[in-house]
Amino acid sequence: MSRPEPGRRTTPSGVARRWGDRMEEGHEPFDLATAFAAFAIFTGFAGDFWRNLLTWWGFGVIVVLVFVAAVILFVRRRPPLRFSHLPAPLVLFVAWCTISVAWSAYRPETLLGSAAQLITAFVGLTIAVTVSKVRVLRALSIAMRAIVGLSLVFELIVALFFPKGVLPLYMLLPGALDSLSGIPGATIDTVPGGFKWSQGHLFSNAAIQGIVGNRNLLAMVALLCIIAVAVQLGAGQLKRWQGIAWLATAVVTLALCRSMTAFAAFGIVAFAYLLVRIARPLPNSLRWIMYGIVGTLMVIGVSFVVLFNNELFALINRSSDMSGRGDIWWAVSQIARDHWVVGLGWVSYWAPWVEPFSDLQVVDGITYLQAHNAYIDAWMQVGVIGAGLLVALMLSTLVRSWWLAIDRPQYGADDGFRIPPTAVLAFLVTVALAVQSLTESRLLIEGNWLLMCYFAIYSKLRIQDLPALPRRTLPDHTGPIMTIGQRPLLPATLELPVPEHPNAAPGKPGGRAPQAPSGG
Tell me what pLDDT residue 152 has. Answer: 96
Q: Which residues pair with 477 in a beta bridge?
A: 474
pTM of the model: 0.81
What are the pLDDT digits (tens) for 176-213? 777 776 677 777 777 777 788 998 888 888 899 999 99
Q: Which residue has the higher pLDDT, 105 or 418?
A: 105
Mean pLDDT for all residues in the chain: 80
Worst-scoring range by mean pLDDT, 24-38, 137-151, 278-292?
24-38
Task: Name the burial class of residue 122, with classes exposed (0-12), middle (13-18) and buried (19+) by CB atoms within 10 angstroms of its CB.
Answer: middle
Tell me what pLDDT residue 411 has. Answer: 41
Tell me what pLDDT residue 88 has. Answer: 94
Binned at pLDDT 50, 70 and 90, residue 419 comes out as low
- d(CA 412, CA 9) in angstroms, rounded, equals 6
- Report in angstroms the alpha-carbon separations of 83 from 67, 128, 303, 460, 467: 20, 14, 42, 12, 13
State the Cα torsion 14-16-21-25 to the nearest 10°.
160
Worst-scoring range by mean pLDDT, 421-435, 454-468, 502-516?
502-516
pLDDT, average across residues 408-417: 46
Q: Cα-atom radius of gyration of the chain, to the nearest Å?
A: 25
Q: In terms of Cα–Cα distance, which of 426, 433, 348 is closest to 382?
A: 348
Tell me what pLDDT residue 28 has. Answer: 62
What are the pLDDT digits (tens) for 305-338? 777 666 666 565 555 555 667 788 888 888 989 8
Per the CB < 8 A criterion, the answer to whether 212 and 221 are in contact is: yes
* Proportion of the chain above pLDDT 90, given as a percent: 46
* Tally: H helices and E strands in the chain: 16, 4
Tell me what pLDDT residue 313 has. Answer: 62
Alpha helices in 308-419 (DSSP H): 309-315, 325-338, 374-406
Tell me what pLDDT residue 17 has. Answer: 37
Per the CB < 8 A criterion, the answer to whether 424 and 432 are in contact is: no
Per the CB < 8 A criterion, the answer to whether 18 and 415 are in contact is: yes
Tell me what pLDDT residue 82 has. Answer: 80
Q: Which residues pair with 363 in a beta bridge?
A: 366
Q: In terms of Cα–Cα distance, which of 380, 290, 386 is closest to 340?
A: 380
Binned at pLDDT 50, 70 and 90, residue 365 comes out as low
Residue 420: other Cβ atoms inside 10 A:
22
Give Cα 259 distance to the centre of its chain: 18
Tell me what pLDDT residue 448 has. Answer: 96
Tell me what pLDDT residue 375 has. Answer: 95
pLDDT, average across residues 112-121: 95
Worst-scoring range by mean pLDDT, 313-322, 384-393, 397-406, 463-472?
463-472
Binned at pLDDT 50, 70 and 90, residue 25 comes out as very low
Q: Which residues pair with 362 in a beta bridge?
A: 367
Q: In terms of Cα–Cα distance, which of 135, 128, 127 is closest to 30?
A: 135
State the Cα torsion 58-149-239-520 to the nearest 10°.
-30
Binned at pLDDT 50, 70 and 90, residue 362 comes out as confident
Q: Which residue has the higher pLDDT, 228 or 481?
A: 228
Tell me what pLDDT residue 351 has. Answer: 87
Q: In terms of Cα–Cα distance, which of 171, 236, 163, 175 is closest to 201?
A: 163
What are the pLDDT digits (tens) for 45-81? 999 999 999 988 999 999 999 999 999 999 998 887 7
Tell me what pLDDT residue 323 has. Answer: 60
Task: Name the burial class of residue 284, with classes exposed (0-12), middle (13-18) and buried (19+) by CB atoms within 10 angstroms of its CB.
Answer: exposed
Binned at pLDDT 50, 70 and 90, residue 443 comes out as very high
Per the CB < 8 A criterion, the answer to whether 460 and 86 are in contact is: yes
What are the pLDDT digits (tens) for 253-275? 999 999 888 999 999 999 999 99
Count of residues for the chain? 520
Per the CB < 8 A criterion, the answer to whether 381 and 443 are in contact is: no
What are the pLDDT digits (tens) for 81-102? 788 889 999 999 999 999 999 9
- Report strand pairing: 366-367 vs 477-478: unpaired
Residue 290 has pLDDT above 70, yes or no: yes
Give Cα 414 distance to the centre of its chain: 35
Tell me what pLDDT residue 309 has. Answer: 67
Residue 155 has pLDDT above 90, yes or no: yes
* Proportion of the chain above pLDDT 70, given as a percent: 76
**At 80, which amino acid appears?**
P
Tell me what pLDDT residue 36 has. Answer: 95
- d(CA 38, CA 29) in angstroms, rounded, equals 14
Give Cα 340 distance to the centre of its chain: 28
- d(CA 397, CA 171) in angstroms, rounded, equals 40
Most confident of 88-97, 231-240, 255-264, 504-513: 88-97
